[in-house]
Amino acid sequence: MQSAAQTLVIIGTGGTIAGASGSATDNVGYKAGSLSVNTLVAAVPALASRSLEAEQLAQLDSKDMDHATWARLARRVQAHLERPEVRGVVITHGTDTLEETAYLLQRVLAPRKPVVLTAAMRPATAIQADGPQNLLDAVAVAESEGVSGVVAVVAGQVWSGLELRKTHSYRLDAFEAGPDAGALAVVEEGVLRRFRDWPAGEALGVARLPAGGQAWPWVEVLGSHAGADARAIEAWRVAGLQGLVLACTGNGTLHEALEAPVRALKEAGVPVWRTTRCAQGRIVGASDEPGAALSPWAARVELMLRLLAD
Ligand code: ASP
C-alpha cells in the first residue's frame, strides 16, 4: 500500500556537498559548508516537482562535528519523523564524520521511517560535482516503499548507518561497510535494488543525549603501534578520562608498553574497549566484547551512549 505521508524534509549540516572553491578544477582546495541547503536542492531540477521542506541545521565542515550539533540534529530529526505527513528525512553532511553521525542516529532513533544521509567528495563548484546526483539518489531512497532506519547514500550505493566506513580519501565511492559487509542496496536511475535488510534495533531515545550543550562523557581513541608510549594514557587518566577505545593491531593485540597503563585505567573504573585498527574484519574470539565488530569510531560513539545511560 502506498504511504499517505508524502513530505520529505532535507536538513543541511554543511560538508563538501555544500562546498565552494574559487576554481572549478580544484577538488581539494575548497571551503566546506559554504552553500545553503536551499541552493543544493535548487541545483537539482528534478527535485522541483517533489514535496520537500529544506532546513539549515548547521553549516560545518564535518571534521569539526561536535556533540552539541549531534544532539540538536537527533532531536530535529525525531521531531520531523513524528509528523504524520513526513515520509522521511534526508541529511546533507560531510563525508569525514558521516559514519559517526549515522551510527549515533541509528542507535538513538532506530527510526521506522527512512533517515538518509548523503554527502559528496567534490565541492558543488567542481566540473563534475557528485553532490547533485547523490542528493537526487538520497531522495529516491527516502521515497522508496519499505525503507526504514538510518542509511547513507553515496555514489549510487546505500550503506547501513551501523556499518559504513569512509575508506578512501579522494575517490567518489569513498565508503565501504564493515566488518566484511556489503552495501544494503544500490540506487539506479532512481530505482532501488536491495540486497540486505534495513538497519534495525531498539531506539535508545534522544532523552539519553545531553541537552543544551552539556558535556558528553570524555572518551578517546588510542591506536596501538610500533614504538607505543604509555604517557598519553597516563596523562588522560590523571585528567579524568571516562572511557578508552583501543584501535588494536590485527586481531585485537596491544603493544606491551600499553598493557600496564591500560590495566591501571581499568582498575580506576574506566571502561576500555578493544577494536581492530584493520580496515576490515572483527576481533575473532571476542564476540562478548562490545567493540569487537565495530570500527574504533563507531565504538567510541557506542561507549559514550553506554556511559550516558549510567
Ligand atoms: N571535510 C569535508 C567534511 O567532512 C569532507 C567531505 O565532506 O567530503 O565536511
pLDDT given for residue 208 in this prediction: 97
Classify residue 1: in a domain, yes or no.
no
Same domain, 101 and 187: yes
Taking 70 as the pLDDT cut, the residues of the chain under it are 1-3
Q: Residue 177 in contact with residue 293, Cβ under 8 Å? A: no
Q: Are 172 and 296 in a shared domain?
A: no
Alpha carbon distance 208, 71 (integer Å)? 9
Together in a domain, 32 and 157: yes
Chain segment 112-154, per-residue pLDDT in tens: 999 999 999 999 999 999 999 999 999 999 999 999 999 999 9
Ligand 1 geometric centre to CA of 32 (Å)? 6
Q: Whose CA is nearest to atom 3 of ligand 1?
A: 94
Distance between CA atoms of residues 107 and 120, nearest Å: 24
Q: Is residue 297 part of a domain?
A: yes
Domain-located, residue 212: no
54: in domain: yes
pLDDT at position 200: 96
> What is the per-residue burial (b if ≥16 Cβ within 10 Å, else e) of 263-272?
eebeeeebbb
pLDDT at 1 (0 to 100): 46
pTM: 0.97
95 lines ligand 1 (CB under 6 A): yes
Same domain, 260 and 153: no
Give the total number of structural domains in the chain.
Answer: 2
> Where a domain ends, among 159, 194, 229?
194
Tell me which of 194, 209, 233 is where a domain ends.
194
Q: Is residue 142 domain-shared with residue 267, that is, in the same domain?
A: no
> Which residue has the CA at smallest separation from atom 7 of ligand 1?
94
**Is 189 found in the same domain as 225?**
no
In this predicted model, what pLDDT tens digit does every residue of 70-104 receive, in sequence order?
A: 999 999 999 999 999 999 999 999 999 999 999 99
Centroid of ligand 1 to alpha carbon of 124 (angstroms): 12
Q: Is 74 in the same domain as 149?
A: yes
Ligand 1, pocket-test mutation among 62, 173, 297, most atoms within 8 A of CB: 62
Rg value, the chain, Cα: 20
310: which residues sit within 8 A by CB, 6+ positions away?
Answer: none
Catalytic residues: 16
Q: What is the C-alpha to C-alpha distance for residues 272 and 262, in angstroms, rounded to an integer?
A: 7
| Residue 209 lies inside a defined structural domain of this protein | no
CATH of the domain at 97: 3.40.50.1170
Identify whether residues 54 and 187 lie together within a single domain.
yes
Query: Residue 243 domain-assigned?
Result: yes
CATH number of the domain that residue 295 is part of: 3.40.50.40
What is residue 212's predicted lDDT score, i.e. its pLDDT?
80
What is the span of the domain harbouring residue 275? 217-309
Domain identity same for 77 and 226? no
Look at residues 139, 161, 194 and tell me which one is the last residue of a structural domain: 194
Measured distance CA(107)–CA(199) in Å, rounded: 10
**Whether residue 229 sits in one domain with residue 187:** no
**pLDDT reported for residue 307:** 98
